[in-house]
Structure 1
């Protein structure tokens, strides 16, 4: 049997892929095909994605036909668009790539419709002429749908809240192969699950969401020498606690290599980057940031009045694919003792192997439940911690585990679905409370009775 025409399912039945090809506008590829690797390779090069079949969907109809085919032949299905947040065990036997679903329509009245393959950068550029802005993530290179389906925590989170709370509607293919529209009144159970539940309830083909009026903001990053990190972080703790909701802030301990694109002031040394995004009156925002500028010598100052198209400058996340290990957690508080524990393992003289150790302040609009309930939990978390190291450095993962162990007294036990994609029982139980897990599992059973969607399978297992 040739894998290019047939696939052997788990129960031994031969599945003719020619039948699938005949139903689709997009191509179907297997590992022997030249196009296969480019389609399945995620942004994180440390994640192996090796599904038996990959379908490059060109339409929502392609997605529905593929899911129906998988259900008829006892196969599991997964989805990938931009490849950010990929997990190999969620690929399924048949991986649907939605990168070619590239619709972008911005309505000057304040909302947008976007296909599942679109990254935030295109939406930002399309909205800017109208003075509008989407609630994107810290990098505009991330896909709109995957980010929003995980809740969507961005650089303006304290001011405007979650991206998921701005969603008007989804077009989604559920596990039974049906294309449905989910809104607060049409299939409200799906609407609940798709906002925070990642791909457990279906494969989204398009999303409609509200924009905010924000042609410009004040912000960027201040960078300090690593030796000044303890003093700056100590001031940041009390300073950030007093900030109004027009401000969102975080800091990151960086150890950036001397490579093209890294400013020479930051390369090959430990530095502290303090991020700040302000949506209020510019003068007040600048005065607030001046309180931090005076704490220690600033080696690089990027803060300024900027168009929203420059929102990436706040976090300055890398764009090029790379192999990384990036665990995360959520905290109830960030006290002086918390800071001391973190600095002992990631601060000056610690010998940390990590490229980045980040702490984000939450609260404000993030903490308030949106107009409609969603599957996003963790509104009570007050800080997030992200650790990023390069793979395959053998020291990276054990060191990250020591960092999180040291933070145990403040650990909520949870993690954002986007920072810890639920792919097994343990990760699903960290991403969702028991009641949310059970509701997601029930929705999965309703719309995916055969258990076709790989993401739904882990939710059902965790709920059981």
Structure 2
């Protein structure tokens, strides 16, 4: 593999090998059309790589379409919209929107691909107030399995299937998305030492607190047992860090967070008013490529006893570093929308992430998810990292049936049977 080809298959997720037969860097929709037709003529499967955050697994053979050079963002401030090409990262959309007093419905990690994450639903930092990113898509340009470029708008079955269905109906080359009028927000995190504050008790307090907050407040609970490694900041080495992260567009954030601030001594408190351009600091997700494996469960309710047992199994004594994140859902996320984002009735999303190989990870994570099974509605398309061999419960049965019908219509040769990374 020469240097230029190696660059095209470089991914944020480093744990899965990418060894396609053909690598096709694209810079336009016309390039994508040519790549899909090449794959169709050769009867080869198609994979798509933007940033590689959400890789479902290794890629062996086939045609890999690299979209990272399709990086144009155009904002229409009057219409409050942005046109976003396939390789654009959320940080690029934020940078383009902020000068106009607008914000996209981006997630916590600024380096994630905007298009791919939106196709999986797009759970943003302001999700409870505005809903999924997919709910704000005006139109899509997509190359389907017949090699045709189609412009898709609300009301069509293809529009419904592309938004929330994942990445099995074609290669989306551009989105037109709605922006929201947000200049500033109240956000940050409360960080506790999990060896000084009982994580189970804090989780109980958090769950009770979520019942009292308005839909303009979006939050998550996280627990991370950091190893004692020199590469980590001194304040994190060997600590079991438990935190609550918040994004809120109201004006009384300090009052709303007072009950959690009073729970116990904090390691750090970064809650503050901030410009939207600084919103990535709320979660401070890692931006260095690495290997990881994870999965998710959308819950109808958060049983604190079972979730507390999950914390104990994945804590410092688990034998491996497991990142637990519990997102509070509801609010605008529960509103019906003309797309295939499933499980809108869910009240919480649990995400578990660990390092190492797939077998080791599943041996650790699968039993943890079993604890949550009584309240589990399904899994999230965007948070099945390395779980590409498991498609069950990514959608409810009726949605899966409709998506299968669309796949047979727009991709009868199953070119896109592999998922696309974010």
User: What TM-score, normalized by structure 1, do the two folds share?
Assistant: 0.85
1:50 aligns with one of 8, 13, 19: 19
CA shift, 1:261, in A, is 8.2
Provide the alpha-carbon RMSD of the alignment.
2.2
Q: Distance in 1 between matches of 2:374 and 2:317?
A: 21
Alpha-carbon contact 1:90-1:423 (below 8 Å) kept: no
Secondary structure in structure 2 of the residue aligned to 1:430: coil
Name the counterpart of 2:40.
71
CA shift, 1:384, in A, is 1.1
Q: Distance in 2 between matches of 1:165 and 1:297?
A: 39
1:254-293 superposed matches below 5 A: 254-257=224-227, 262-281=232-251, 284-293=252-261
Q: Distance in 1 between matches of 2:236 and 2:282?
A: 16
Provide closer, same or farther for how the CA distance between residues 223 and 119 of structure 1 changes in structure 2, counting only shifts above 3 A.
same
Q: Distance in 2 between matches of 1:199 and 1:58?
A: 19
Secondary structure in structure 1 of the residue aligned to 2:418: helix
Does residue 383 in structure 1 map to residue 351 in structure 2? Answer: no
CA shift, 1:451, in A, is 2.6
CA shift, 1:33, in A, is 2.9
Name the counterpart of 2:64.
95
Secondary structure in structure 1 of the residue aligned to 2:238: coil
Q: Distance in 1 between matches of 2:254 and 2:106?
A: 23
Alpha-carbon contact 2:190-2:268 (below 8 Å) kept: yes
Please, which runs of 5 or more residues in structure 2 have no aligned partner?
Answer: none
Name the counterpart of 2:107.
137
Does residue 226 in structure 1 map to residue 194 in structure 2? Answer: yes
Does residue 374 in structure 1 map to residue 344 in structure 2? Answer: no
Name the counterpart of 2:288.
320
- Give aligned pairs, total: 417
CA shift, 1:91, in A, is 6.7
Secondary structure in structure 2 of the residue aligned to 1:230: helix
Alpha-carbon contact 2:81-2:179 (below 8 Å) kept: yes
Name the counterpart of 1:345.
313
Q: Distance in 1 between matches of 2:311 and 2:38?
A: 52
Q: Distance in 2 between matches of 1:232 and 1:363?
A: 21
Alpha-carbon contact 1:231-1:295 (below 8 Å) kept: no
CA shift, 1:54, in A, is 0.7
Does residue 34 in structure 1 map to residue 3 in structure 2? Answer: yes
CA shift, 1:226, in A, is 0.5
1:157 aligns with one of 118, 122, 127: 127
> What do residues 411-445 of structure 1 show as CA deviations (whole Å, max 9, x unaligned)?
22x11111127976x73331112221221122122
CA shift, 1:73, in A, is 2.0
**Greater relative contact order: 1 or 2 (C-alpha under 8 angstroms, separation 6 or more)?**
2
Name the counterpart of 1:439.
402
Does residue 311 in structure 1 map to residue 279 in structure 2? Answer: yes
Q: Distance in 1 between matches of 2:17 and 2:179?
A: 35
Q: Distance in 2 between matches of 1:213 and 1:261?
A: 39
Q: Distance in 2 between matches of 1:88 and 1:255?
A: 25
Alpha-carbon contact 1:250-1:275 (below 8 Å) kept: yes
User: What TM-score, normalized by structure 2, do the two folds share?
Assistant: 0.93
Provide closer, same or farther for how the CA distance between residues 263 and 189 of structure 1 changes in structure 2, counting only shifts above 3 A.
same
Secondary structure in structure 2 of the residue aligned to 1:224: strand
Name the counterpart of 2:143.
173
Provide closer, same or farther for how the CA distance between residues 196 and 260 of structure 1 changes in structure 2, counting only shifts above 3 A.
farther
> What do residues 207-262 of structure 1 show as CA deviations (whole Å, max 9, x unaligned)?
00100010010011110010212332221111112111011111111123466885
Does residue 403 in structure 1 map to residue 368 in structure 2? Answer: yes
Q: Distance in 2 between matches of 1:409 and 1:341?
A: 14
Alpha-carbon contact 2:295-2:385 (below 8 Å) kept: no
1:416 aligns with one of 365, 380, 386: 380
Provide closer, same or farther for how the CA distance between residues 263 and 367 of structure 1 changes in structure 2, counting only shifts above 3 A.
farther
Alpha-carbon contact 1:132-1:212 (below 8 Å) kept: yes
Q: Distance in 2 between matches of 1:210 and 1:316?
A: 25
Q: Distance in 1 between matches of 2:361 and 2:25?
A: 34
CA shift, 1:123, in A, is 0.8
> What do residues 379-428 of structure 1 show as CA deviations (whole Å, max 9, x unaligned)?
1111111111111497543221221122222222x11111127976x733
Q: Distance in 2 between matches of 1:54 and 1:314?
A: 36
Alpha-carbon contact 2:203-2:304 (below 8 Å) kept: no
CA shift, 1:345, in A, is 1.0
CA shift, 1:450, in A, is 2.8
Does residue 356 in structure 1 map to residue 323 in structure 2? Answer: yes
With 448-457 and 321-330 compared, the bigger mean Cα shift is at 448-457
> What do residues 164-191 of structure 1 show as CA deviations (whole Å, max 9, x unaligned)?
0000001111110001101015xx1211
